[in-house]
Structure 1
């Protein structure tokens, strides 16, 4: 009896152990009962019927990176290109992932390679380097549509490396070197062109400034000459006025003097002296002299001059006449 009891306890423990299933977080277990799908166990403690239920599949529900083996693709311009990429996917339906495909990882890998070859075949070599993002989007779109029946969601695809043949690499490097040299020559030419433009602009501005300076100098000089001429004219006018005033005052003084007693005799004496002095100067300056017929008649000449003086005095000598 004791042996039977021990066997029963052992069988019970085995039964309990077999009936308890603990599923980790972000995992899912697929259970089959008598060979058919029965349930999907979520994270935590789960109870199954031993010997009737069987754990058929275990799935990781986290994002899984899948390295897609490198392959040789032919571009539109018949150039071989070795492409290496990585794919990220996630199991969204454990039942579909278990029964939709015998090996969904292999199916995704193969589909990614064939899709990539198709996309690269429609592009030229230079475009493949420029449009990596477009290639990635096309691969993800094609894979996600097909993988929906496998219970898998394709999240993204990234090209890790694009490697053309060595000959193409050398040609591309030579082209890049030529382009850089071309850009360097263009930049140097543009620099020289800009330098010539700057020099010409500076010379033109300097000529304009010089012309403006000469123009302003001419204007200033003209204004100065104009002002100088005005000043000279005003000075000459003032000088003439002063001379005329002095002459008038002198004549007035002479006229006043003549009206004084003895003034007439003084005028006679002055005229006689000037007459004699004038003939003396003529005799000194020339060997030939032309004399009037009455040159020896000094008294007659003086009398003639006095008649002129008296005639000039006549309008102002009314008081002497009345006397």
Structure 2
């Protein structure tokens, strides 16, 4: 009974050491008698008990690594406190196990030294403007060396760039001055545009007034010309109608009567004004004698 129990325990230990279940996105490195033997993939794997052993366990997931903050000096000798975060992934479990004693420490230190080197090539203003370039150069520098460690650096991101308080105050003053400058330029441009608009409006108004006055003169001249033309046409029509009436029977008699009537009226006006003696011919039917008497009356006072 005791022998059976011992055999059962040995069998359980044998199975436990012989069968290994590797989780998904993990890789285990197996050594056989102290030497690298194989890399166990996810799933069930079988080992030789007491000869094979699992020496290293690696996660194949993407790992975020916080890079401690450090002081970097820019090209123009300005100190910056920089911290970032690094994303990497184990791609070769065997190299990750034997390429470096601690690949995480190695990657962290290399990220810091690469960042100092990249920042040292840039001026202060460029460090704020070219973060993407800095990140790309750091990744390129780390990735080249990390291949021997079985690690693939995916990306690096700068979390914060902190200049000294004096530099920060000077930058804020510069920004304030730049904004005031822009405000003054905008105000002057506004006043300039206002003056241009006023001058343009006055010029257009003067042109409109002159055009109106010109059109008024043209309209007046056209109206006077039309009036003269209408009077002339009316006079011509009246004369034509009178001429037609004279040519009709009795027309000449009517004309003589009208002339005599006008002459009598003229005589009456002259007598009232001159208070002179008027000699009227006995034969009033003679228009010529009447007109001659009127002419003699007119000439009498002058003599």
* Shorter-chain TM band: 0.7 to 0.9
Q: Aligned with 2:190: secondary structure?
A: helix
**Structure 1 portions without partners, runs of 5+:** 256-266, 290-323
TM-score (norm 1): 0.79
Q: 1:269 to 1:128 in 2, by over 3 A?
A: closer
User: Of the candidates 273, 276, 285, which is equivalent to residue 270 of structure 1?
Assistant: 285
CA drift of 1:269 comes to 5.7
Q: Distance in 2 between matches of 1:101 and 1:21?
A: 26
Matched residue count:
277
What do the CA deviations read for 1:166-197 (whole angstroms, capped 9, x no partner)? 00000000000011111111111111111111
Give the structure 2 partner of residue 49 of structure 1: 48
TM-score (norm 2): 0.84
Q: Distance in 1 between matches of 2:226 and 2:291?
A: 47
Give the structure 2 partner of residue 103 of structure 1: 102
Give the structure 2 partner of residue 130 of structure 1: 129
Give the number of the structure whose alpha-carbon radius of gyration is greater: 1
Q: Distance in 1 between matches of 2:193 and 2:79?
A: 45
Q: Distance in 2 between matches of 1:276 and 1:217?
A: 53
Give the structure 2 partner of residue 175 of structure 1: 174
CA drift of 1:37 comes to 0.2
Q: Aligned with 2:285: secondary structure?
A: helix
Q: Distance in 2 between matches of 1:10 and 1:276?
A: 178
Q: 1:280 to 1:3 in 2, by over 3 A?
A: closer
Q: Distance in 2 between matches of 1:275 and 1:201?
A: 74
Q: Distance in 2 between matches of 1:139 and 1:16?
A: 48
Deviating runs (4+, > 3 A) in structure 1?
239-255, 275-283
Give the structure 2 partner of residue 191 of structure 1: 190
Q: Distance in 1 between matches of 2:31 and 2:292?
A: 171
Structure 1 range deviating more: 18-27 or 239-248: 239-248
Give the structure 1 partner of residue 15 of structure 2: 16
**Structure 2 portions without partners, runs of 5+:** 256-281
Structure 1 range deviating more: 268-277 or 88-97: 268-277
Equivalent residue runs for 1:272-287 within 5 Å: 274=290, 278=294, 281=297, 286=301
Q: 1:245 to 1:107 in 2, by over 3 A?
A: same
What is the CA RMSD across the aligned residues, in angstroms?
A: 2.6
Q: 1:13 to 1:232 in 2, by over 3 A?
A: same
Q: Distance in 2 between matches of 1:279 and 1:210?
A: 59
Q: Aligned with 1:25: secondary structure?
A: coil
What do the CA deviations read for 1:76-116 (whole angstroms, capped 9, x no partner)? 00000011100000001100111111111111111111111
Equivalent residue runs for 1:159-238 within 5 Å: 159-238=158-237
CA drift of 1:226 comes to 1.4
Q: 1:235 to 1:32 in 2, by over 3 A?
A: same
Q: Distance in 1 between matches of 2:63 and 2:114?
A: 20
Give the structure 1 partner of residue 265 of structure 2: none
Q: 1:276 to 1:154 in 2, by over 3 A?
A: closer
Q: Distance in 2 between matches of 1:38 and 1:204?
A: 96
CA drift of 1:251 comes to 6.5
Q: 1:276 to 1:206 in 2, by over 3 A?
A: closer
Q: 1:92 to 1:274 in 2, by over 3 A?
A: same
Give the structure 1 partner of residue 79 of structure 2: 80
Q: Distance in 2 between matches of 1:19 and 1:43?
A: 16
Q: 1:274 to 1:106 in 2, by over 3 A?
A: same
Q: 1:276 to 1:195 in 2, by over 3 A?
A: closer
Q: 1:282 to 1:252 in 2, by over 3 A?
A: closer
Q: Distance in 2 between matches of 1:254 and 1:109?
A: 136
Give the structure 2 partner of residue 37 of structure 1: 36
